[in-house]
Amino acid sequence: MMATPAEIKSTAASLREIAGMFAIYTGSDGSAQLPSWVVIDTMVKLEQAADLLDRAARTRSTKGAAAKAIESD
């Protein structure tokens, strides 16, 4: 089941921060707890989710500005 926009509490910035934290698991020192493909796939998915949140925010602000322009006419 997909979450509705009202249920999403994460911001694009916080998702990108989480993705950045996953980078510590891909180090070359042998301390990785997860296979690198799992880490990389998760990082990509988080970045994609952040992009979707950014796009949704831009769409909402554009629609809001258009509605205000129509009201002022």
Sequence ranges of the domains in the chain: 34-73
Tokens read off for 16: 């990108």
What distance in Å separates the CA atoms of residue 27 and residue 7, rounded to the nearest whole number? Answer: 34
pTM for the full predicted model = 0.52
Give mean pLDDT, residues 60-69: 65
Give mean pLDDT, residues 14-31: 68
Mean pLDDT value across the chain: 71
30: left (phi over 0), alpha (psi -120 to 50) or beta: left
Q: Greater confidence, 27 or 15?
A: 15
Tokens read off for 65: 């500005």
